[in-house]
């Protein structure tokens, strides 16, 4: 049984969709099982593993939680600067609690983290163990969450991602589509470099960790499971927010998502006047995940086009 925590969020809902499609045995929870409460997490795990949660047609063996995928988090980068305590509760205490429960019930953990653990003054894609230097509360609390998990257990995969967009949730692609439909001029910063990540691609790679582990069990000696630890996943290539916005505009026009004319102007971060300092360069190296999972990662433009033309695209 796979337990997806944060199943109503942008990434969590995509993970659940793919689990359903691949006919996995899974269960999802969101705020109703509060990650800041050990009692709530333990109580839920127990209700799944005993007969309480599922009808008795699910066998005892299938009710055993073997994996937890944690997609819950405090994700509002700007608000985190004011709601410091809440951000720490969700991004540090929550993952620690989840790791404790995972260890107790013998489940492996997949947890999601962020490029914002880095300071952003590099010029080469960040490797997993490069020096961290988070600039704001969000990045600091996410880094603390990584550390908390590492202290609690060994059987974890922490996957850092960046610039995430998906079908079910607020994100840059949807926001741009909306403002490009309602404004004839917009300004987007061009001095922060990174790589967008399409949630279906990330979700697919998360499930590969499970597939490779389960496959390794049945093919002992021939294949090995990916090493536990920290990984990076984004789409391929790199860009800046302005060029990303220009591509959204081009593809939005091509697929009829953007109907009016809009000029996408570039500006500096300083000129834009954002409240929170963000990394100027946060491109992540995917060498490790490509090697360990033996995957090919689509370039960001390819995934963006698939996303915009998909019938699930719905920025309302």
Active site includes 231? no
User: Alpha-carbon distance 143 to 134, whole Å?
Assistant: 8
Tell how far CA 222 is from the center of its chain: 31
According to the 3-state scheme, what is the secondary structure of 185-223? Answer: EEEEECCCEECCEEHHHHHHHHHHHHHHHHHHHHCCCCC
Cα-based distances in Å from 189 to 241, 260, 290, 308: 6, 22, 30, 22
Instruction: Indicate the residue among 215 and 315 with the shorter CB distance to ligand NAP.
Output: 315
User: Alpha-carbon distance 242 to 96, whole Å?
Assistant: 37
Candidate list 4, 27, 73, 198; residue touching ligand NAP; CB under 6 A: 73
CB of 213 to ligand NAP, least distance (A): 21
- Interface region with ligand NAP, contact rule CB under 6 A, candidates 8-16, 182-190, 240-248, 288-296: 8-16
**Active-site entry in 74, 116, 138, 281:** 138
CB of 185 to ligand NAP, least distance (A): 25
- For 114, phi and psi rounded to 5 degrees? -140, 155
Q: Is 72 in the site for ligand NAP (CB under 6 A)?
A: yes
Candidate list 107, 164, 198, 280; residue touching ligand NAP; CB under 6 A: 164
Candidate list 9, 28, 122, 279; residue touching ligand NAP; CB under 6 A: 9
Instruction: Indicate the residue among 12 and 252 with the shorter CB distance to ligand NAP.
Output: 12
For ligand NAP, the binding residues in 221-240 under the rule CB under 6 A are none
For 316, how many CA atoms within 13 A lie in the half-sphere containing its CB?
2
Candidate list 1, 26, 69, 75; residue touching ligand NAP; CB under 6 A: 75
For ligand NAP, the binding residues in 20-49 under the rule CB under 6 A are 30-31, 34-36
Stretch 276-295: interaction string toward ligand NAP, x if CB under 6 A: --------------------
CB of 40 to ligand NAP, least distance (A): 8
User: Alpha-carbon distance 73 to 67, whole Å?
Assistant: 18
Q: Are 135 and 119 in contact (CB under 8 A)?
A: yes
**Exposed/middle/buried for residue 20 (C-beta within 10 Å: 0-12, 13-18, 19+):** exposed
Stretch 97-136: interaction string toward ligand NAP, x if CB under 6 A: ---------------x-x----------------------
User: Alpha-carbon distance 38 to 44, whole Å?
Assistant: 10
Q: Are 151 and 221 in contact (CB under 8 A)?
A: no
Instruction: Indicate the residue among 77 and 293 with the shorter CB distance to ligand NAP.
Output: 77
Residue with tokens 């926001």: 175
Candidate list 126, 157, 163, 300; residue touching ligand NAP; CB under 6 A: 163
User: Alpha-carbon distance 63 to 53, whole Å?
Assistant: 9
CB of 75 to ligand NAP, least distance (A): 4
Contacts of 165 (CB under 8 A, 6+ apart): 10, 171, 172, 173, 174, 196, 197, 198, 199, 307
| Closest residue to ligand NAP using C-beta atoms | 9
CB of 230 to ligand NAP, least distance (A): 13
Q: Which residues are near ligand NAP by CB under 6 A?
A: 6, 8-12, 30-31, 34-36, 71-73, 75, 90, 112, 114, 142, 161-164, 169
Indicate which residues carry an active-site annotation. 138
């Amino acid at each position: 049984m796979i337990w997806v925590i944060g199943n109503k969020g942008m990434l969590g809902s995509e993970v659940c969709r793919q689990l359903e499609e691949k006919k996995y045995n899974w269960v999802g929870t969101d705020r109703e099982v509060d990650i800041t409460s050990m009692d709530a997490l333990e109580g839920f795990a127990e209700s799944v593993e005993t007969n309480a949660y599922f009808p008795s047609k699910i066998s005892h063996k299938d009710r055993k939680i073997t994996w937890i995928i944690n997609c819950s988090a405090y994700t509002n980068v700007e608000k985190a600067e004011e709601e410091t305590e809440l951000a720490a509760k969700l991004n540090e205490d929550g993952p620690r609690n989840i790791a404790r429960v995972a260890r107790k019930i013998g489940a492996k953990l997949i947890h999601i983290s962020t490029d914002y653990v880095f300071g952003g003054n590099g010029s080469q894609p960040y490797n997993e163990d490069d020096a961290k230097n988070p600039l704001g509360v969000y990045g600091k609390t996410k880094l603390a969450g990584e550390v908390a998990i590492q202290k609690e257990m060994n059987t974890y995969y922490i996957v850092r991602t960046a610039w995430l967009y998906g079908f079910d949730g607020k994100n840059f692609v949807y926001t741009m589509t909306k403002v490009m439909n309602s404004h004839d001029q917009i300004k987007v910063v061009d001095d922060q470099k990174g790589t967008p990540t399409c949630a279906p691609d990330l979700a697919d790679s998360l499930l590969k960790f499970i597939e490779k582990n389960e496959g390794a069990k049945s093919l002992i000696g021939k294949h090995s499971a990916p090493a536990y630890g920290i990984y990076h996943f984004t789409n391929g290539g790199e860009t800046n927010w302005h060029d990303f916005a220009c591509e959204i505009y081009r593809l939005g026009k091509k697929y009829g998502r953007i109907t009016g004319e809009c000029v996408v102007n570039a500006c500096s971060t300083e000129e834009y006047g954002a409240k929170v300092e963000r990394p100027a360069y946060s491109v992540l190296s995917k060498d490790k995940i490509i090697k360990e999972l033996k995957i090919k990662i689509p370039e960001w433009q390819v995934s963006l086009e698939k996303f915009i033309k998909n019938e699930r695209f719905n920025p309302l």
